Amino acid sequence: MSKTNEAAALDQTSVIHSTFTLERTFPQPPKKVFQAFADKETKRRWLIEGEGWNIHAYDADFRIGGSDASRFDYKGGPELTNDTQYQDIVADQRIVFSYRMTMGGKPLSASLVTVEFTASGKGTVMTYTEQGAYFDGGMEAAKGREEGTRWLMDRLAAEVAR
């Protein structure tokens, strides 16, 4: 699609739909990688802690029908919110969740994420698929989400190697 056509598409709709899939291998077994999503304090470390990030609120309820909620900013910038709902969980194999994000009170996106864990030798192949809807000219947000998720997966890898 040419740039001109992309611009035309943006004029016709306020929502951009975009899907990406990341595959990562870990030397640790599926149980260990799964646990980094399931355990509240472990997840907090790789998902929202880090230099420059200020955490205003964090709660996690890892069960089908349960919700997570986090509120944070980066170096005093606008508040970001992440509200997650667990859609399906199969222990050590699969986690499916939806989440919506806002920045400074403005809706940014809603997404459906499928994380699958498969044993490979002593390690794990993890497949992360995010089906996203980005609001109000969110083409840049759609592009940035994949990059941001790759960065988070690096943090996850460091966490499970601790």
In angstroms, rounded to a whole number, what is the distance separating the alpha carbons of residues 19 and 133?
A: 9
Count of residues interacting with its own copies (CB under 8 A): 29
In angstroms, rounded to a whole number, what is the distance separating the alpha carbons of residues 89 and 15?
A: 28
With binding defined as CB under 8 A, does residue 106 bind its own copies? no
What's the maximum distance between 2 C-alpha atoms anywhere in the chain? 50
Measured torsion, CA atoms of residues 96, 101, 107, 109, in degrees rounded to the nearest 10: -50
Which among 55, 58, 36 has a CA at the least distance from the CA of 155?
36
Give the range of 51-59, 70-78, 92-100, 146-154 binding its own copies by CB under 8 A: 92-100
Say how many CA atoms lie within 13 Å of 17 toward its Cβ. 3
Which residue's CB is nearer to its own copies, number 42 or number 67? 67
Q: How far is the CB of 66 from its own copies (least distance, A)?
A: 12
In the set 35, 82, 127, 149, which binds its own copies (CB under 8 A)? 127
With binding defined as CB under 8 A, does residue 158 bind its own copies? no
With binding defined as CB under 8 A, does residue 96 bind its own copies? yes
User: Residue 140 burial by CB count (10 A; 0-12/13-18/19+): exposed, middle or buried?
Assistant: exposed
Q: How far is the CB of 162 from its own copies (least distance, A)?
A: 29
Q: How far is the CB of 75 from its own copies (least distance, A)?
A: 27
Which spans of this chain sit near its own copies (rule: CB under 8 A)?
13-15, 17, 19, 64-65, 83, 85, 87-88, 90, 93-94, 96, 98, 100, 107, 110-112, 114, 116, 127, 129, 131-133, 135
